Chains A and B, each alone.
Chain A
Amino acid sequence: MIKTPPFLSPGDTIGLVCPAGSMPVEKVSECIRVLNEDWGYTTKAGDTIGKQFNYFSGTDEDRLADFQKMLDDDEVKAILCARGGYGLTRIIDKIDFTKFKKNPKWIIGFSDITILHAHIYRNLYISTLHAPMANAFNKGEYKNEFVQSLRNALEGKKLKYQCAPHEFNKKGEGIGELVGGNLSLLVHLTGTDSDMKTKGRILFLEDVGEYLYNIDRMMRQLQRSGKLDKLAGLIIGGFTDCKDTENPFAQTAYEIIRDVIKEYDYPVCFGFPVSHEKENYALKTGVGYKLKVSKSKVILEE
């Protein structure tokens, strides 16, 4: 069974870093305040918070050093990536996971952070948290059930989610380890040392701002690289802000996905709250889940 990092107790320290894109301090401060005052944790802001170097929160060396420091710091019990963007693929092969492997801690984030989830699952078989990041705490949104689900996950509560049915859903029940994340990044990892295995697992996918034809191409890449045919279940999250070409593709993202997977008989649900929008439940990568898709509802539980 997959190794699960220890859950957090009041007073435990959460480290915050920006391993990819940069984020101004004022956008992270509400998250830090909530973690300290509402959730009862202590926080440690890494050097990359509030810093900027061109497209990134720092040079590759800065970002690597900051992440490595949090990884090796015994006091830090969880690392919350403040935001995604682009940049993890540039440092992933240089991160030293030796200490982390002995003393795992929760690594939290989504989007570009998919690289950490995939890499750690593939190489270390330690669970991580695909969950909202710092920006989700802003404008009072920290009270919503999605940000709260991160708190529940960190406290060790068993996660159980329910969502509404969708006309494209395929009924059934599947049990397996949960893997997935951002579709663009998952296909980008194909053939690399961070490539995720999906056979017998429940796969979840989400993406933002992609061209529809490219969603088609990415889904076909998953299919042609054998990542769709032996799933225990498939969870389709938000595919938001999709772009189209001058000649319209004439299908929505969900229609594209429905057509690619029509030959498989495992359970599939569409519109699950995992996305770049507010609707984004905390999900534990690698942990065993049960996906139940019925006519009236969808349930995903540990």
Chain B
Amino acid sequence: MNRKHFITSASVLLTSAALPLKTEGNEIETASVFPAYLKKGDTIGITAPAGYITLEEIQPAIKLMETWGFKIKVGDTIGKKDFTFGGSDEERLNDFQHLLDDRFTKAIMCARGGYGAVRIIDKLNWAKFRTKPKWIIGFSDITVFHSHLHKNFRIASIHAKMCNSFPVDWNLAEPIQVETIESIQKALSGEKMEYSTTSNENNKPGIAAGVLVGGNLKTLESLAGSPSDINTTGKILFVEDTGEYLYSIDRMFWNLKRSGKLSKLKGLIVGGFKIKTEADTEDFGKTLEQIVLEKVINYKYPVCFDFPVGHQKNNFALKCGVKHKLIVNQNECILKEIR
């Protein structure tokens, strides 16, 4: 087969993978596109698309990922600082774009979250990335990328800890740190993911299968109405958040509910929520669990709490845009990737 012909047939294959499978309303549901899994010797690029971070702070992550057999490419934004940002909008955009387009970079790990991804997301050129997707890794503010990639391209990504969560001394790391950080390696290497957690008495039992989407609740709410707004129909949705008041968490779940994002789920996974309190205000009068359960009282899908995802040590790598099975029963909650 000559090369030209090969390219044509390959592109036909690519296109067919993204063909609509079913249509619901105006939303075209297409199969997920998986970036290639990483092999030893592959390169992971590190960039700071939101908050700033020093080169020193990412050293533990570099060292550990090198022991996994990967090469590390440090982006220009590492060590850059423009007040709260890892460089100006232009610098962060250029660095991310460079890693997106660099054919040697097989995955992009965001060094940290913070705030800033939404300021550059519309200016990124995804053309090259779409023809040759790569894994984008991170959480919190990086939810902007997960949501944008799923909404616009159905390209899978990895919701996981970032460079700022790697312990300085790996030998002194707690078992949960080791396990969660090694889950990033597993996800990148193509291992089928599986998680289990003990049951919370408020869980709603059931079994569901669907594509996993989600991330930071506040960030998801801030994308409502935008071109990165997530479609949750038929999906398993996971949410987590930190530093929010209960009233604000309540308000965000109302936004999900009132914008129709809860009514057609297959399952709901509630991760860690660090709740902000103020000494001189009245009690909200409802727990996190009550806030969530009252919104989903009319739906039959399974709901689990305390899932190990969030701004906490217990934060496993999750593949967004990938089909999973969720099993919630009296003893435990299991989430596993299905192919």
Which residues in A have some Cβ–Cβ distance to B below 8 Å?
Answer: 22, 52-56, 86, 89-90, 93, 187-195, 213, 216-218, 220-221, 224-227, 245, 247-250
Contact = CB atoms under 8 A, between A and B. Distances in A.
Interface of B: 51-52, 83-84, 115, 118-119, 122, 221-229, 246-247, 250-252, 254-255, 258-261, 281-286
A22 to B, nearest CB: 8
Q: Is the interface of B mostly helix, strand, loop or mixed?
A: loop
A71 B254 CA distance: 24
Nearest to B257: A192
Contacts, number: 94
A56 B283 CA distance: 9
Nearest to B115: A213
A53 B285 contact: yes
Given A56-B285, A221-B224, 12 more contacts: A22-B282, A54-B284, A55-B247, A90-B254, A93-B258, A188-B255, A216-B119, A217-B118, A220-B118, A224-B225, A224-B228, A249-B83
A12 to B, nearest CB: 34
A188 B284 CA distance: 19
B259 A216 contact: no
A185 to B, nearest CB: 9
A123 B51 CA distance: 40
B282 A192 contact: no
22 contacts: A52-B282, A54-B284, A55-B281, A55-B283, A86-B251, A89-B254, A187-B221, A187-B224, A188-B221, A189-B255, A190-B225, A191-B224, A192-B259, A193-B258, A216-B115, A216-B119, A217-B118, A220-B119, A221-B118, A221-B222, A221-B226, A245-B84
Contacts of B118: 217, 220-221, 224
Contacts of A188: 221, 251-252, 254-255
The 3 A-B pairs of least Cβ separation, nearest first, read A54-B285, A225-B225, A191-B259
Nearest to A56: B285
B226 A224 contact: yes
Nearest to B259: A191
A194 B227 CA distance: 20
